[in-house]
Amino acid sequence: MESQYISSMLALLFAAFLSLSSATSPQENFLRCLSFSSNLSSPIARVVYTPNNASYSSILESRVRNLRFWTPNTPKPLVIVTPLVTSHIQATIRCSRKHGLQLRIRSGGHDYEGLSYVSQVPFVVIDLINFRSVDVDVENRVAWVQSGAILGELYYKIAEKSKSLAFPGGICHTVGIGGFLTGGGYGLLFRKYGLGADNVIDAQLIDVNGRILDRQSMGEDVFWAIRGGGGGSFGILLSWKVKLVPIPPTVTIFAVRRTLEQNAIKLIHKWQYIAPRMPHEMYFDVSLNQVNSTQDGKKTVVSYFIAFFLGGIDELVPLMHERFPELGITKKDCIETSWIESIIYLGRIRNQPLEILLDRDFQTPLTPPSFKSKSDYVKEPIPEIGLEGLWTRFSEKEAESGVIYFFSYGGKMDEIPESSTPFPHRAGNLYKIIYNVGWQPQENINSDKYISWIRRTYSYMTPYVSKFPREAYINYRDLDIGTNSEGNITSYARASVWGRKYFRNNFDRLVLAKTMIDPENFFRHEQSIPPLCKKHGH
């Protein structure tokens, strides 16, 4: 009798509690759900931040890498979770699902459109700052690296153990592993060894049901999709097993400036024919930006030719004389260094100790604080007259901190089949373009004029770049090319517009992989891969 009484009292209390909770906000329900799933040995409350916590703002801002999305009007997350153990991630997924909150996943926070920390609907951010271990195995030439590590941490830990191994990642060392590898990821070594994602051999994924899957248990379709199909679509990538690649002790770099008077346009024109055919050992880009003329202070445009070569000066200088004598590269233009030092040198952080690579708060001088970017692929050389038009655009006022880079393709990129990973821009591409325009955060209110400049420039380039589709690089995310947002068109039809630009025909296989791993479309954002048939009308 006694126990029956107690249990009915409990039921009553529980009902009262339920009615209480249904009257509260999704945020409170979510927090309560988290506290229920707390693990005594690792309580989740220590890693849960709401706007009431003093450090909420600093945690949020610390990985906002584009201050275009750090304004009073930018939507902020209801809650930020910085998990310490996988059970925290599983609880965050479970409770966000249960209470209808969208989840945004953040590793390094470099998403060009801020999708890892901004959403137009109520949302929670899971920030993987505490998932950043790097475990280098020199003997087997592999490493396990967690998604919240930055490229610099991986480079540093490799260099600590070996001077003859490296990982093919980007120059900017603060980029997060999670976003870099889910989007492909290129850098100084990509013409020799392919993309970062081409060198992934296993991974750990937490799916929508909280299962921890590896390559074998997720299956080859999903394993294919996470290596270049874009972040935030398939689940939360916890860690990656990557191949390390051999590098010589000495590498050579040059960075030379050429003005209009020094025939910059003719040189860039020629570069288009030469750079993609250079040996695999070479990385070669050219950029344009506006400067004040040293003579009269008027605006003018200069170009920089930057190369990185796996070998010494004695090999590089004759190669340049043979293939590209017009550029006039001499020994004096070149410096010999090591692979790891070249990251510091080309990242424009010279004279700093290697430990700078571990500094995730470092503000790279490579990108202005607030910016907008777009990308293109080029399959036929652009005629000189086309390049001249770019010059005109770069002389405009809004281009003050604009920069355009041409990154030479070819080499190993030509040898990897288009369907080998979701990243489709392989043989047939001479180079990739990135357009970038920046401004100071206090100019955020005037961002429209800069953004309209970059859109005009992009539109000007239409005749010269890839068509049907006009291709783009997922890791240079650009919401101008389309989003999944509602309307009366299904999100699949909308998604295939931007999807084919990023993935060409690989888009269809990505949709199949998404349908397998997340059929109800829990992991989603403006440019996430849609499942084939939605069971629920999110």
Ligand X SMILES: *[C@@H]1O[C@H](CO)[C@@H](O)[C@H](O)[C@H]1NC(C)=O
According to CB under 6 A, which residues from 22 to 41 bind ligand X?
39, 41
Work out whether 108 is an interface residue with ligand FAD (CB under 6 A).
yes
- Cα separation values, 412 from 92, 186, 320, 387, 417, Å: 40, 12, 20, 27, 10
Closest CB 330 distance from ligand X, rounded Å: 27
Please give the order of strands across the beta sheet that includes 236-243. Answer: 134-137, 142-146, 236-243, 200-206, 212-213
Closest CB 286 distance from ligand FAD, rounded Å: 16
Half-sphere exposure of 402 (CA within 13 A, CB side): 31
Work out whether 212 is an interface residue with ligand FAD (CB under 6 A).
no
- Whether the CB-CB separation of 359 and 60 falls below 8 Å is answered with no
Scanning 109-117, 463-471, 482-490, 508-516 for contacts with ligand X by CB under 6 A, the matching segment is 482-490
Using the rule CB under 6 A, which residue among 81, 236, 437, 461 binds ligand FAD? 236
Using the rule CB under 6 A, which residue among 82, 96, 119, 147 binds ligand FAD? 147
One-letter amino acid of 6: I
Note the maximum CA span of the chain.
99
Taking the C-alpha atoms of residue 1 and residue 69, their distance in angstroms, rounded to an integer, is 62
Three-state SS at 448: helix
According to CB under 6 A, which residues from 44 to 83 bind ligand X?
45-49, 52-53
Residue 392: exposure state from Cβ atoms within 10 A (0-12, 13-18, ≥19)? exposed
- Whether the CB-CB separation of 229 and 526 falls below 8 Å is answered with no
- Whether the CB-CB separation of 280 and 411 falls below 8 Å is answered with yes
Three-state SS at 62: helix
Using the rule CB under 6 A, which residue among 44, 47, 105, 310 binds ligand FAD? 105
Taking the C-alpha atoms of residue 303 and residue 258, their distance in angstroms, rounded to an integer, is 5
Work out whether 424 is an interface residue with ligand FAD (CB under 6 A).
no
Work out whether 529 is an interface residue with ligand FAD (CB under 6 A).
no
Look up residue 146 and give its two tokens.
Answer: 């967690």
Three-state SS at 237: strand
Work out whether 185 is an interface residue with ligand FAD (CB under 6 A).
yes
Work out whether 446 is an interface residue with ligand X (CB under 6 A).
no
According to CB under 6 A, which residues from 277 to 306 bind ligand X?
291-292
Build a one-symbol-per-residue string for 45-74: x at contacts with ligand FAD by CB under 6 A, - elsewhere: --------------------x---------
**How many residues can be counted in the chain?**
538
Binds 488: which of ligand FAD, ligand X, none (CB < 5-8 Å by kind): ligand X
Binds 500: which of ligand FAD, ligand X, none (CB < 5-8 Å by kind): none
What's the start-to-end Cα distance of the chain, in Å? 48
Using the rule CB under 6 A, which residue among 154, 237, 288, 306 binds ligand FAD? 237
CA 278-283-284 angle, to 5 degrees, is 80
- Whether the CB-CB separation of 275 and 429 falls below 8 Å is answered with no
Work out whether 488 is an interface residue with ligand X (CB under 6 A).
yes
* Cis amide bond preceding 368, omega within 30: no
Of 435, 476, 492, 502, which residue is the catalytic one?
A: 476
Closest CB 501 distance from ligand X, rounded Å: 20
Work out whether 194 is an interface residue with ligand FAD (CB under 6 A).
no
Is 345 one of the annotated active-site residues of the chain? no
Owner of token pair 């200069």: 302
Closest CB 297 distance from ligand FAD, rounded Å: 29
Using the rule CB under 6 A, which residue among 42, 133, 392, 485 binds ligand X? 42
Owner of token pair 């397998």: 516
Choose between 381 and 424: whose C-beta lies nearer to ligand FAD: 424
Choose between 230 and 402: whose C-beta lies nearer to ligand X: 402
Scanning 43-51, 128-136, 235-243, 510-518 for contacts with ligand X by CB under 6 A, the matching segment is 43-51
Work out whether 487 is an interface residue with ligand X (CB under 6 A).
yes
Taking the C-alpha atoms of residue 463 and residue 102, their distance in angstroms, rounded to an integer, is 39
- Cα separation values, 507 from 504, 513, 530, Å: 6, 10, 10
Scanning 71-79, 240-248, 346-354, 362-370 for contacts with ligand FAD by CB under 6 A, the matching segment is 362-370
- Whether the CB-CB separation of 360 and 150 falls below 8 Å is answered with yes
Closest CB 44 distance from ligand X, rounded Å: 9
**Beta-bridge partners for 237:** 205
Work out whether 356 is an interface residue with ligand FAD (CB under 6 A).
no
Look up residue 456 and give its two tokens.
Answer: 């005009």
Choose between 211 and 467: whose C-beta lies nearer to ligand X: 211
Choose between 39 and 217: whose C-beta lies nearer to ligand X: 39
Choose between 168 and 381: whose C-beta lies nearer to ligand FAD: 168
Residues classed as catalytic? 476
Binding footprint of ligand FAD on the chain (CB under 6 A): 65, 104-112, 115-116, 128, 147, 170-172, 175-176, 178-180, 182-183, 185-187, 231-232, 236-237, 364, 366-367, 475
Binding footprint of ligand X on the chain (CB under 6 A): 39, 41-42, 45-49, 52-53, 85, 87, 291-292, 487-489
